[in-house]
Amino acid sequence: MSGNALPGAERVVRIIAETAIANEKYFGDLDSVVGDGDFGYSLARGFEKVLEGWDDIDRTDAGTFLKRSGMIIASRVGGTSGPLWGTAFLRAGAVAGTAPDLTGEQVVAMLRAAIEGIKARGRSDVGDKTLLDALVPMTDRLEQEFSGGADAEKALRAAAVAAREAADATGAMVAKRGRASYTGERSRGSVDAGAVAVAVLTERISETWQTRGATS
């Protein structure tokens, strides 16, 4: 997945922001089944702020860009989503640092750091029916593909499939974190909105990478 780090980071953040905004109602509807229904709204408002201040975000390097974006998200996204998604971007940015380009191995390391940040901030883990239940399998698959010599397009396609399958599988889980956890067994039978968001975002990144190429 080698390529100029800053343009790559900018591109991914913009895809995530635009996709989160476009799916505001969908994510909110999913969250309203057993949650408080504000996930889609909160995420969209936070990423709107990122796009509103897009030209002013520090672009010293990819790491700085990701960390500054994370700070905007953390301060603007409401509920529990802000700290979690903001932490993910901050941790990923710290790993990216000043690297002039990003290899597949580095991208996986950034995602691992984001995962650990989410676990610590949300006091959650895989199996609690959260975004981690899609983010971790997606990252595992990405690492597997890159380790096997796959290029970015192939690796992203496989990761998107893994994320979707994992997100769908959250329907059989009982929520252990967040508002949905208050409903106990009633949370079984509906997918987790955060996990689905990870799947949708990964799919969109994969689609865009295939149609535009990694360097466009």
- The span from the CA of 150 to the CA of 108, in Å, is 13
What is the reported pTM? 0.90
- Structure tokens belonging to residue 12: 């991914």
Q: Count of CB atoms within 10 A of residue 76's CB? A: 18
CA distances in angstroms from 215 to 53, 59, 108, 144, listed in the order given: 24, 18, 19, 23
Q: What confidence tens digit (pLDDT) does each residue in 66-77 have?
A: 999 999 998 877
- Percent of the chain exceeding pLDDT 70 equals 88
What is the predicted pLDDT for the residue at 158?
98
- Mean predicted confidence (pLDDT) in 8-22: 96
Q: Which CATH superfamily is domain 5-212 in?
A: DhaL domain (1.25.40.340)
Q: Which of 17-21, 74-78, 205-209 has the lowest mean pLDDT?
A: 74-78
Rg over alpha carbons for the chain, rounded to the nearest Å, is 16
Q: At residue 187, does pLDDT exceed 60?
A: no
**Which residue ranges make up each domain of the chain?**
5-212
Q: Which pLDDT score, from 0 to 100, does residue 1 have?
A: 54
pLDDT in tens, 84-142: 999 999 999 999 999 888 899 999 999 999 999 999 998 888 988 899 999 999 999 99
Q: Which two tokens stand for residue 123?
A: 């006091």
The pLDDT score that the predictor gives to residue 206 is 96
The string of pLDDT tens digits covering residues 37-81 is 788 999 999 999 999 999 999 999 999 999 999 999 988 776 778
What local confidence, expressed as pLDDT, does residue 54 receive?
97
Question: How do residues 139-184 score in pLDDT, each as one tens digit?
Answer: 999 999 999 999 999 999 999 999 999 999 998 887 665 554 544 4
- Give the burial string for 169-207 (b: 16+ CB within 10 Å, else e): bbeebbbebbbbbeeeeebeebbbbbbbbbbbbbbbbbe
Q: Taking residues 1-12, what's their average pLDDT?
A: 81
